[in-house]
Structure 1
Amino acid sequence: MKRLIVNKMLFLLLLCISVQLWGQAPEGYYDAAKGQKDKALLIALHNIIDGHTNVGYDGLWTVYKKSDVRADGTVWDMYSTSKFIPGQKQCGNYKNVGDCYNREHSFPKSWFSEGSPMKSDAFHIYPTDGKVNGQRSNFAYGETKTGTTLPSHNGVDALGKLGTCSFPGYSGKVFEPVDEYKGDFARTYFYMAARYQDKIKSWGGDMTAGNDYPCYKTWAVNLLLKWHRQDPVSQKEIDRNNAVYEFQHNRNPFIDYPELAEYIWGDQQNTGWTPGGFVKPVITAPLDDSTIDMGVTAIGKPLSKTIEVKGQGISENLSVQLQGAGFATATSSLDKEVVIAGTTITITYNSSVTATSEATLKLYNSEVSSTVTLNAKAVDGIPALSAESVDLNSFVARWTNLDGNVNYTLTVWSEDKNSPVYSETVAANKEKQEVTGLDEDTQYHYQLSYNSKVSNVVDVKTLAPIPVLSLIVPEELVFNAVPGVASEMKEAEVYTEHIDENVTVTIDAPFEISTDKSNWAQTLTVDKDGERFYIRLSKDASPGVHAGLLSLSVSDFDGDEVDVVGMVELPITFLEDFEAATQQNNYSGGVIEGTMCKWELTDAGICGRSSGDRFNGKQSVCFGKTSNSSLEMKEDKVNGASSLSFYVALYGSDTNATICTSYSVDGGNTWTELGSEVISNTVLRQLTYNLLVNAPVRIKIEQTEGKRVNIDDIAMSDYIPSNITSNETSGWDAYCRQGKLIIETNKEELVTVYSADAVTMYQDEVVSGTTTVDLPQGMYIVVCGDNAKKVVIK
């Protein structure tokens, strides 16, 4: 029997949202917050933006198509330089930066136990590169001087780095975004404190304080205010605020009025808020108390550095003060308007002797001040520069050529080795050389030499490996079931790198998971070395569409999450059994009144002859012996239809016949074929089609060749939006149940089982059905024909 398989027909859940096109907050939106300060102001904002429209987790993909798209139409990813096309390359599986994008909870969902509506609030969930999202995991945001940035791949760069926090007040592991987006994330966290002011005190996380004001720990407040001040609101944020507002019907107040942060957490806590009444004067670049490394040069060879200067709210010109031997600048003051617009100053360094030098650059007026430390080095020899493109097993050594068309010797050694690990002759005028074959997470040093001339020594540490915790799944996890019966199973596998503990797999109800096809639950633990498990829609799922998440985690690291969708057919609302029609026992046809609607019969009749008709009840439709026989609805089923089924069998001893089933959504003017079936059975059997028509619909069944057939019990369910895919199987499976290897096959097969070190543990011709094999605990490779599966016995 053929079945119509519909691939990617409809979006899983209709996003029923009234979209209003506001370009800014409505008049009076923030009136209730005027005059308030500190905690009272935070509560007032909470009351204004509370109760937003929850778009749902799947609905975020729709929001992103408007909220996070660049001018060129690509996804605006704050974690990489990828140019994803909206709706394409949604994670899914990934191995490298640039493979796919997913939904990043910038405020980790584990901190609020994946509660609603936080889990799907677009104001803190951004479309980001899957690989970098995995690196960030659920670590706090912070600043790190020694962090790791993921390697580039196919021209796509990762943005941000993971490392030990260097910001005062916290010493744990943090993820530091790039400077361009630090203000975006700070204002996101301010929003979370306001929107969920009534909930945040019960949340976890390394940044939250366990109270409803100030909501965040002191170090976190200081960090967020710093980022908020140094990275002012951008047009990107304004556009995103307006776009999300169209869907959620609430706003991020700290984008509309950035000064609100000062009245709640900053310098204006004791002052009542007036919209637009305060702009904190601040130098946003260069950052106060920052350090700028100008690099290395040779004795007597000038070195220059251009430094960006930018500020906001400044009403006086800035004075420029530079103190330090060998450093100089031609700039002594900067006009306030030029600073607000953004400008630069140039610093030069020159030394006549070998020196490691430091200077202080101060930009100031009576309102603001920014003091920066400048470092530079002069060497009596070849200037070796800091390494670039540092990866797990390589880096690029750099230098300045002082000697023309000659060769240098580049030598690399590690901390714990007496002899060099790398020594190569390089062309001096290349000024860079890739060094490969190194160990990960290892301290190295390099130096260049030419005749009697040597360079300074440069320290470089290769990257530490980044944990990988991902899922290998079919392209889509979409399930279909009927009420009271579990769906067919689909298979998934855990893939890990640098994970040293077993993995927790979690799925939302009514979906369930199992490693042995016997014990099903929403949470289970699988082996970190790649144990497979199974997924299905529970038999207890109610009729309708269900959406959930399949996710992975270990104790301190969140891994992949994948969308899971299922549909349970609604109860049958249309059942035409033809029992109400007048029995004809001939093929005179015409329009008849059925149980559900009127039907037109052509070369067909309502028959209940005991000599050859097949029926449930007392009668059914019987087609004649011609290829013109048909059965057609003359009235619409107004609620559309999700599924269609009917029973069919040959009449008496007649031979094969072919029937064609079609549907119409325009009153029978045009027809769309669902499928064609060869009927050879003499006992009624059911044909089923996935119809998925969201419109008034009618169906037609025609006999295109052969002899007589009976049609009975035509059933349809109401329309449900869904996404149905075929479920191809390989015909065999292998898994662990109660400490034993279970092998399932649908025919006789040669099966071989190998241990992890390639020792044959079992080989036999297994018969169709289930075979149980006793094996010690461990990981095994089970081979059946040209296919193999990994199984963990435990």
Structure 2
Amino acid sequence: MKKLFLFFTFSQLALAQAPAGYYNSANGLSGAQLKTALSNIITNGHQDKGYNGLWTAYKTTDIDKNYENDGSILDIYSERPSSADPYKYTPGNNQCGTYSTEGNCYNREHIVPQSLFSEASPMKSDVHFIRATDGKVNGMRSNYPFGKVGSASFTSLNGSKLGSSSSAGFSGTVFEPIDEFKGDVARMVFYFVTRYQSKLSTFSTGNMLGSSAFPGLQTWELNVLLAWHNQDPVSQAEINRNNASYTFQGNRNPFIDNPSYVNQIWGGQAPTTDTQTPSTVTNLTVSGKTTNTVSLTWNASTDNVGVSSYDVYMNGSLKTNVASTSTTVSGLNPSTTYNFYVKAKDAAGNVSANSSTVSATTNAGTTNPNPTGCVSENFETIPSASSSSYSTRTWTSNGITWTATDSRTDQTITNKAITIRDGSLKSNSSANGIGSLTVTTQLKFSGSNGTFNVQINGVTVGTVPYSTTATTTTINNINVSGNVVITLVNNSASNRVAIDNLSWTCHNTASRQAKTPSFNAEAKELKIYPNPIVNNEIFVKGETESIKKAEIYNLQGKVMQTFDHPFKKENSIRIKSLLQGTYILKLDESALKFIVK
């Protein structure tokens, strides 16, 4: 119960400062019809001021006028209603930025995680459900739904908690704000599923949203939020914020203006029984294969409340459960056929019929006499799991020691993953070479699509793309023998990208040696200038007129480009663009090293 605002009666808070006639079209309605009428009302007039516009909004919407009344940011994750706050933020001066502990900076907390709607507009910048909160606590909350915490793994300085759910109907990880702000959170979520009800079927559920306009939430989450709404009535702080948000953005939260709308729509409690099964999964497809992995994708299932997860079966037995519509099954044998099907599940435990079955035969194994050097890493043994702080992490798995710089461990793709920001993921030296490399990536939080550079022994051999959709990529024909060190380097200094299910095949040494060209010692009478080369042109000093053939090799002996009679007309070779690194120019039987920057 709100401690500071008991002098406001429930009726006095109803229709608080909404313009006259604002809700007229909702009069006399209830249930789904009322929800739709409110959705139309609060969609009209809504002005998208952009993601950066939130910083401006917070100078009026999220100012503490009701607790300390000192002009600082009112942060629901750090505010202590009856004692001194552990820290304070000055509007505009303490914006994140990086953080490692509470009190470093404040950022933009999407009460409904923006990953559920792929960071699309106008949801991404809607001030009615995006609060100014401490960066560290925001990071710990991550994408988890709201619920009652049983056993806490993290507790903020004001008592907000992250941990295992004790809410009926859900046993995963949840986040629980302090009692003072439970109703605030509930009414922000009710606003979201009303304002964007027509889009819910295109959003991910996140174990909280429903996939249909009504009721718009999963049963267990709706029960939690209804209880919080009734437990913690509308406060003057919420009224102030609603009015300021209306001035800034042009629409209102109807559940603050008229709290009785909640029970008029949802009847005071969620349906007690959900017996409808999700639709059958369609378009199950094999999206990639290696010697020991099979990657699968499928279309999202639908449900009257919402799909919570998918069970993936291999050869008739449950193999894994995932929340996304893709997965990579690892630990398989080479040259072996496996059969897969998928079932969709909702929060009430209803399970769909089997999808159609697809078969996949893993790639043939290498003939290398020592295949143990082939590597598969699923990141299940990463240290400090579920940590949102960025640091260097080192661990050993399946004989390989990994080092991840500027990394965090709280994001997932298939179970655990390592997330890299301005850093890299690097293996120690592994025997038996590398043939092809496969890895799954996904952009987390905000940012833009990008790539990792894949380096073998410090030389870039290809790139791996990433986006907000989990994507599995294979780079074939790397073909480097002997000891190899594999490094994935993020080309962005700010994008936070999760990496999962990284594997590579071994490379046959004997076969590789047969393909490696033999070079004479670097020819003293020939010289490349300038070196590093510029503008994709190689100038060579010396007697070049009689040279019949020029070939460019990378340091692993792979031919990159070939030229016949290269110096017939001039003393330079115009080449196609090459990745940054060191290469060898073979001129008949002589060889020259050059660098591309």
Give the TM-score, by structure 1 length: 0.36
Structure 1 or 2: more helix by fraction:
2
Structure 1 or 2: more strand by fraction:
1
Give the TM-score, by structure 2 length: 0.47
